[in-house]
Chains A and B, each alone.
Chain A
Amino acid sequence: MNFRRFLLALTLFVALPFPTLFGAEEATAAESASAGESHHGDGHKEKHHGLPKTAPILFHGIGGDPESGKVGPLAVTNSMVVMLIVAAGIILVAQLATRKAKIIPGGLQNFVEWLVESLYGFFEGVLGAHMVKKTFWFFATIFIFILFSNWFGLLPGMGTVGWNVDSTGHVHEPLLRGVNADLNMTLAMAAIFMVLWMYWCLKEIGPGGVVGHIFAVKGHGSGFFGIFLVVVFICVGVIEIVSIGVRPVALTFRLYGNIFAGENMLESVMMMGGLYLGWLAVLPFYLLEVLVGLVQALVFALLTSVFTALMCEHHEEEHSH
C-alpha cells in the first residue's frame, strides 16, 4: 500500500509539469492567434493552428442569438455534445454491467466492480470509512467522468469534423471538442465541489467547527504570549481563507489548462510532422496525453477528496475517541 502511494505521488510529480511545459508555448501562440477573434472565424486570416480557447456554440439556445453572440438557456457547445456522449456511454456501461448482476461476476460486471471497488478503497484511504460512505458518489463520478472525457477527447475526429472549414482545411466550428477543454465544464465541477464541500463541512463539524478549523485554534496562552497566539491564529485563518478561495480557481484552470494545452500540443506536433509523418511525430505525445488524462482525473479527484478530508477528519478523530 505504501509503495503504491509512493508510486502515485511520483507519477504526479513527474507527469504534472510536462503538459504545462509543452503547452505554454502553444498557449501563447494560440493567444496571439485568437486575440480579437469571434466565433465566426472572420479573425482567422493569419496562419492559425490550435484550438480556440472557447468552445464554439453550436446552438445558441432559447432566446439566444448567433449574430450578437447572446447565449440563452439550453445552448449547446461542441464540448457539451461530447460530454453528453461520454455521460451516456458511462451510464450505458453501468446499466449493462449491473442490470444482470450475479454473485459470480463475469466480463463487464467484473470490470465495473473492479473499478468501483478500487476507487472505493482509494477514497476510503483518503477520507476514512465514515466520510467515504457519504461522499463516494461525488468523487467516483469526478474521477470516472474526467478520465473518460479526457480519453474520449483523444479519439480521432475531435476538432477535425465540423463546420466552417477554411482554405487550409482547418475546422473552425468542430462538432466535437474535449469536454475539459471548456472552462464552463471544469468550473462547473469545481463549483459543485465547493458547494458540496461547504455542505459536508457544515454537516460534519458545524459552523463553529469550520471557523475553529480555519483559524486553527489549538492551544491557549497567557499574557503577551496569548495575544501573540491570537494574532498568529488570525493570520493563519486569513491565509487559510485565501487558500480555500483559490481552490476552485486552481481546480478549474489546472484541468482546463492541461487538457486544452494537450489538445493544442497534439495538433501542433501533428502539423510539424507534415502530411505523411504527422502520425509518427504525434505518437509519443499521444501516449503522454493518455497518461495526462489519467493523472489529471486522479489529481482532481485526489485534491477534492483531500480538501474534504482535511476539513472533516478532525470530527472523525473525535468520533473515534
Chain B
Amino acid sequence: MQNLIILAAAGDAADKGPVAEIVKTFGVNWPLFISQCIAFLVLAFLLKKLAYKPVLEMLETRRKTIAESMENAEQIKAELAETQTERNKVLAEANQKAEQLIADAKEAAKQVGEAEGQKAVKQAEEIIRKAREATDADRDRMMSELKSEIGRLVVETTAKVSGKILTAEDQQRLIDETNRELAA
C-alpha cells in the first residue's frame, strides 16, 4: 500500500508510526485518493459549466428583465398620471370656457333683449303719441267744424225766429256767444 506525503514526512518508520496506522486503518492510498480528487474536480468543473454559470446568468437576466419591467411600469404609471392630470386640466379649461361662453351669450342676449324692449317701448310710445296727436287733431277739426256749423245754425235760427236780417255784427256776436256756451 502506498502512503501519503504526511507519511513520507514521518520518516522511514512508515509502517510503525501513528500516521501509518491511521492510513492503514482507513484504507487511504494514492490511486484512490488521486482518482477521487480528479472525480471531484471534474464534477465541480461540469457543474460550473452546466449549472452555476447558466443559472446565475439566467438569474441576472431575469433580474434585469424584472427591473426593466418595473421601470417601464413605473414610467407608464407616471405617464398615465400625467395624462390624467392633463386631461383633467383640459376638461376644466373647456368647462370654464363653455361657462364663460354661456355667460357671455346670456349677457349678450340680455342686452339685445333690453335694447329691443326699449325700442319697442319707444315705438309703442311713438305710436301712441302719434295716435293721440291724430285724435287731438281730429277732435279739434271736428270741434271747429261743429262750432262753425252750430254758429251758422244759431244765426239762421235766430234770423228765422226774429224775422229780421242780422247784421254782420250781430252774426259775429251770436257765433261768439254760442262758442262760449259750447266751450263751457
**A residues lining the B interface (CB < 8 Å):** 53-55, 57, 61, 64, 69-75, 77, 80, 83-84, 87, 90-91, 94-95, 97-98, 101, 103, 105, 112-113, 116-117, 120, 136-138, 140-141, 144-145, 182-185, 187-189, 191-192, 256
Contacts and interface: CB of A to CB of B under 8 A. Distances in A.
A183 B50 CA distance: 28
B95 interface: no
B65 interface: yes
B36 A188 contact: yes
B36 to A, nearest CB: 4
B47 A91 contact: yes
B51 A138 contact: no
Contact of A90 (B43, B54, B61): B43
B138 to A, nearest CB: 108
**Which 8 residue pairs across A and B have the least CB separation, nearest first?**
A54-B27, A94-B51, A183-B26, A141-B44, A137-B48, A188-B36, A98-B54, A184-B32
B119 to A, nearest CB: 81
Contacts, number: 123
Contacts of A137: 44, 47-48, 52
B59 A117 contact: yes
A71 B24 CA distance: 13
Contacts of A53: 25-27
A250 B167 CA distance: 177
Contacts of B43: 87, 90-91, 141, 145
B24 to A, nearest CB: 9
Contacts of B41: 192
28 contacts: A61-B31, A71-B30, A73-B31, A74-B31, A80-B36, A83-B36, A87-B39, A91-B47, A91-B50, A94-B47, A97-B51, A97-B55, A98-B51, A98-B54, A98-B58, A101-B58, A112-B55, A116-B51, A116-B59, A136-B56, A141-B48, A182-B32, A183-B28, A184-B27, A185-B40, A189-B40, A192-B37, A192-B40
Given A54-B27, A84-B39, A191-B33, 8 more contacts: A53-B26, A71-B32, A116-B59, A117-B59, A136-B52, A140-B52, A184-B28, A188-B37
Interface of B: 1-2, 25-37, 39-44, 46-48, 50-52, 54-56, 58-59, 61-62, 65
Contacts of A189: 40
Contacts of B61: 103
A98 B55 contact: yes
Most A CB within 10 A of own CB, among B32, B37, B52, B65: B32
Contacts of B36: 80, 83, 182, 184-185, 188
Contacts of A113: 55, 58-59
Nearest to A140: B52
Contact of A187 (B33, B47, B54): B33
B47 A144 contact: yes
Contacts of B50: 91, 94-95, 98
Contact of B33 (A74, A87, A97, A184): A184
Contacts of A87: 39, 42-43
